[in-house]
């Protein structure tokens, strides 16, 4: 069984892409809404929450883990594999699959992400190794605002304020390096116009299929766990997975 975790609904973008590529995989999803958003927490807090999320999934039968949260990528250290008894090939994160899609990209890139993701410098270091110019755009509060529900207009204001200092004409793409951000894609498009956007979900799903197929073949069951139930979470499920059969369990 594949276990996927995120701070809330953002990971549905990855879940949807995985189900499209591996429809027979059994999937267990954990949205840690009680502790959302992750993107403004310290590295120590993120390490603790990462370990807890993976243990929640393992305790319920997950044998492979997908971290659908960019903010915790720095917490996925080698020592974690021993701590959790997890083989390295059975843990897929966001950064590697995303960066690999740009190995032949020539133009500068803008990376939109949470403060925690940018402070980790994982993306910056990976792109520098490719010789790619990358600038980062932190958008504080946006992931939480998307998770708990604000108007499209207010989303646009947050995006516009974050991108105001940048000359958009010099960039070839914007990477949405927070899984919540594609849920606000219309707001990004309204503010940034025709600039190409990259949603890493498909790249991560490709990596999951490459590493876990046919290991993770089942009956296509879907089970959703949350640490707190909200109407916004259920609305995101309905929007992104309209035809899916699933059970939602609220953890104590």
Which residues are identified as catalytic? 69, 178
Provide the residue count of the chain.
252
Q: Which two tokens stand for residue 49?
A: 């929450």
CB burial of 68-102 (b: ≥16 within 10 Å; e: otherwise) equals bbbbbbbbbeeebeeeeebeeebbbbbbebbbeeb
For residue 59, count CB atoms less than 10 angstroms from its CB and return exposed for 0-12, middle for 13-18, buried for 19 or more.
exposed
Strand order across the beta sheet in which 173-176 lies: 134-138, 109-113, 173-176, 197-198
Is 32:49 a contact under the CB 8 Å cutoff?
yes
Q: Which two tokens stand for residue 244?
A: 């899916």
State the SS3 of 164-185.
Answer: CCCCHHHCCEEEECCCCHHHHH
The structure tokens 């699933």 sit at 246
Q: Which two tokens stand for residue 127?
A: 């792109």
């Amino acid at each position: 069984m594949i276990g996927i975790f995120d701070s809330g609904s953002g990971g549905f973008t990855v879940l949807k892409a995985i189900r499209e590529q591996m429809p027979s995989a059994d999937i267990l999803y954990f949205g840690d809404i009680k502790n959302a958003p992750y993107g403004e927490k310290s590295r120590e807090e993120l390490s603790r929450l990462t370990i807890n999320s993976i243990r929640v999934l393992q305790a319920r039968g997950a044998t492979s883990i997908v971290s659908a949260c960019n903010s915790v990528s720095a917490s996925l250290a080698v020592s974690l594999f021993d701590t959790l008894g997890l083989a390295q090939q059975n843990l897929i994160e966001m950064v590697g699959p995303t960066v690999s899609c740009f190995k032949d990209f020539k133009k500068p890139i803008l990376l939109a992400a949470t403060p925690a993701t940018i402070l980790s410098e994982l993306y910056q270091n990976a792109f520098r190794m490719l010789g790619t110019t990358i600038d980062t755009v932190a958008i504080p509060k946006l992931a939480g605002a998307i998770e708990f529900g604000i108007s499209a207009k207010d989303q646009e204001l947050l995006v516009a304020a974050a991108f105001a200092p940048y000359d958009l004409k010099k960039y070839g793409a914007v990477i949405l390096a927070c899984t919540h951000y594609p849920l606000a894609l219309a707001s990004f498009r309204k503010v940034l116009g025709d600039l190409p956007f990259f949603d890493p979900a498909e790249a991560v799903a490709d990596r999951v299929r490459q590493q876990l197929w046919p290991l993770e073949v089942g009956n296509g069951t879907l089970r959703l766990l949350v640490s707190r139930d909200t109407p916004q979470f259920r609305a995101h499920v309905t929007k992104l997975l309209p035809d899916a059969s699933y059970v939602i369990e609220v953890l104590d």
